[in-house]
Amino acid sequence: MKSFHIITFGCQMNEHDSERMSGLLEQEGLCAVDTPDAAEVIILNTCSIREKAEQKFYSELGRLTRMRDLSGKKVAIAVAGCIAQQEGRKILARVPSVDMILGPSDIARLPGMIKRSSSTGGPEIATEGDSDYHVSSLPAARSDRIKAWVSIMYGCDNFCTYCVVPYLRGRERSRPSADIVQEVRELAGRGYREVTLLGQNVNSYGKGGAAGDCFPDLLRKLNDVSGIERIRFVTSHPKDLSDDLIQAFRDLPKVCESMHLPVQHGSDKVLMTMNRKYTIAEYRDKVRKLRDAVPDMVLTTDIIVGFPGEHEEDFEQTLHLLGEMRYDNIFAFKYSQRPGTAALKLAGHIPEAVKEDRLDKVFEVQKPITLERNNRHKGTVQEILVEGKSKRGGKLTGRTRGNKIVNVAGPDSLVGSLAKVRITSAGPNSLGGELCE
Ligand code: SAH
Ligand code: SF4
Ligand code: F3S
């Protein structure tokens, strides 16, 4: 087996796990190819967060196994990620020709599994989780040359009642801070300018003390790494947004003014049944402190509509909250029933049509707010990190410190550097501007 292709579903953590599987396989002498039909090993890195993600994976798996059977070629198919963890061997009952199944904390086993499966022909399964996974430094073949994802913790202890992640990614484990600082130094040495720290709940990083630092301390250390210009992180849980973190935002020049702070719902009653561990009053108070400390803060959030027991008046509190918070952008989802989660047993599941209607209303309320928040940038000068060429129009594209996309005409030589841009236009998804002299 010499060539491989990875198809990734799901969150940034999965994207980064795919980069690490690539890194591991390249270290073993395999080479990545651009399409599945050119590969001898096809890896599907799966997501189980909502039913739709699961359906997408099974239809892709069906398509690939049919393609392989028609071609008659010897191709191994591996299922990795969250559905692999959730279903394990049960995937074989549905699709018997799958060759490998491996969970998110077992990715270091992939090269060995490929070797064994090609010699024995039998299915290889690893979902028990490597207990040293969080202290191992795996190589990563990163697709970007300027921005890098860096995992700082794995798993989640929060058990929000709708969510499968704690069951699939295991307990919260923080990587040792010295390893993270070392990785970021190496990235800086290889020319990376921006790092995004990844975890399900990054602001509880270091809980328990074994990692050596708490999250604001880790940020302070990373702020000192020369060569790195920008530091971002996802995702933050409102309950763990401390005053110390707000101060770090204010005081550390490399920590960018953008925060994804999922609120999920506008009603205290629903937040309670979701097990989110904060009230709207507490959330509001934290956002106020954050905006007082950092007035340019770009704030985004996640919203769930149609959670069990969500009455019309509860839902209206979500709409009201959007009007009050004026998020720069939101990600909104219909509640989706997930296996093994506590919310399955709650009373008052909501019909699909009602969920759809509520989701439409959420977007209707948010749309003008997003535009208004983008319009605020017009006439200002923003620092952008130039990332490359935009898909259409051949302009340069980059992001502001607040993480908004900016398209601007300019020379290719600027790619990878910081530039000052005067913002002249704003749309729903991006800003336009001109380079300042
Ligand atoms: N750890 C992060 C991200 C979790 S997954 C956090 O706590 O915010 C990303 C988003 O998916 C969640 O914020 C939530 O809005 C949504 N989500 C998770 N489970 C869901 C479900 N069962 N149905 C609908 N949306 C869900
Ligand atoms: Fe899921 Fe909640 Fe953990 Fe986020 S904090 S991963 S929503 S359980
Ligand atoms: Fe999906 Fe697993 Fe991420 S369920 S959202 S890939 S943690």
Q: Which of 13, 85, 159, 172 to mutate to test the pocket of ligand 3 (most atoms within 8 A of CB)?
A: 13
Question: Is residue 270 one of the residues assigned to a domain?
Answer: no
Instruction: State which of 151, 234, 302 you would mutate to test the pocket of ligand 1, scoring each by most atoms of that ligand within 8 A of its C-beta.
Output: 302
Tell me: pLDDT of 262 over 70.
Answer: yes
- Give CA–CA dist 240/246, Å, rounded: 11
Read off the pLDDT of each residue in 155-163 and give the average, rounded to a whole number. 98
Domain end residue (candidates: 126, 159, 189): 126
pLDDT value at residue 394 = 86
Q: Which atom of ligand 2 is nearest to the CA of 201?
A: 5
Looking at 190-296, list the stretches that DSSP marks H as alpha helix, in order from N- to C-terminal side: 215-223, 243-251, 268-273, 280-293
Range of the domain at 413: 381-435
CA dist., res. 351 & res. 349, Å (int): 7
CA of 433 to the centre of ligand 3 (A): 35
Same domain flag for 358 and 393: no
pLDDT at residue 1, rounded to an integer: 66
According to DSSP, the residues that pair with 408 across neighbouring strands are 396, 433
pLDDT > 70? residue 338: yes
* pTM across the whole model: 0.97
The closest-lying atom of ligand 3 relative to the alpha carbon of residue 49 is: 4
Q: What CATH number is attached to the domain comprising 72?
A: 3.40.50.12160
Closest by Cα among 381, 384, 383, 411 to 395: 411
Average pLDDT over residues 88-114: 96
Residues 370 and 391 in one domain: no
Separation CA 218–CA 202 (nearest Å): 11
Strand partners, 173: 154
Say yes or no: CB of residue 5 within 6 Å of ligand 3.
no
Residue 169 has a pLDDT of 96
CB of residue 235 inside a 6 A radius of ligand 1: yes
Indicate whether 134 belongs to any domain: no
Interior angle at CA 18, CA 120 and CA 164, nearest 5: 95
Higher pLDDT, 121 or 218: 218
Atom number, ligand 3, closest to the C-alpha of residue 14: 6
> What is the structure's pLDDT at 390?
83
Q: What is the mean pLDDT of residues 76-92?
A: 97
Residue 130 scores a pLDDT above 70: yes
Ligand in nearest proximity to the CA of 12:
3
Last residue of a domain, one of 256, 272, 304: 256
For 246, other C-beta atoms within 10 Å of its C-beta total: 20
In a domain, 263, yes or no: no
Which residues, in sequence order, are CB contacts of 353 under 8 Å at separation 6+?
none
Residue 153 near ligand 3, beta carbon < 6 Å: no
**Ligand 3 centroid – CA 10 distance (Å):** 5
117: how many CB neighbours lie within 10 A of its CB?
A: 19
**pLDDT value for 27:** 96
SS3 content of the chain, % helix, strand, coil (to 5): 40, 20, 35
Tell whether 119 and 22 lie within a shared domain: yes
Residue at 264 is within a domain: no
Number of domains in the chain: 4
Average of per-residue pLDDT across 319-340? 98
133 lies in some domain = no
Q: Would 81 be classed as within a structural domain?
A: yes
Q: Is residue 48 part of a domain?
A: yes
**Residue nearest to ligand 3 atom 7, measured at CA:** 165
Task: Determine if ligand 1 sits within 6 Å of the CB of residue 262.
Answer: yes
Please report, for the domain that includes residue 313, its CATH number: 3.30.750.200
Is the shortest distance between the CB of 163 and ligand 1 below 6 Å?
Answer: yes
Do 387 and 363 form a contact (C-beta atoms < 8 A)? no
Ligand 1 atom with the smallest distance to the CA of 336 is 23
Q: Torsion angle, CA of 138/144/149/155, rounded to 10 degrees?
A: -70
Q: Which of 353, 376, 399 is the last residue of a domain?
A: 376
Question: How far is residue 4's CA from residue 43's CA, in Å, rounded to a whole number?
Answer: 8
Mean pLDDT for the chain overall: 96
Provide mean pLDDT across the span 257-263.
98
Domain match, 115 and 209 both: no
Beta carbons of 228 and 184 less than 8 angstroms apart: yes
**Residue 280, in any domain of the structure:** no
Residue having the nearest C-alpha atom to atom 5 of ligand 2:
158
Cross-strand bridge partners of residue 255: 231
Query: Quick one: CA torsion of 432, 332, 50, 132, rounded to 10 degrees?
Result: 70
Whether 431 and 369 share a structural domain = no
Q: For tokens 């509001």, name the residue.
A: 284
- The answer, yes or no, to whether any atom of ligand 3 lies below 6 A from the CB of 199, is no
The arithmetic mean of pLDDT across residues 114-124, rounded, is 90
- Do 431 and 351 fall within a single domain? no
Of all protein residues, whose CA lies closest to atom 1 belonging to ligand 3?
A: 47
CB of 62 within 8 A of CB of 95?
yes
User: Looking at the predicted structure, is the pLDDT value of residue 393 above 80?
Assistant: no
CATH number of the structural domain spanning residue 425 = 2.40.50.140
Please report which helix (H) or strand (E) contains residue 13, including its range.
helix 12-27
pLDDT of residue 63: 96
Within this chain, do residues 101 and 167 fall inside the same structural domain, yes or no? no
pLDDT at 437 over 80: no
Looking at all shown ligands, the one closest to residue 337's CA atom is: 1
* Ligand 3 center from residue 12 Cα (angstroms): 8
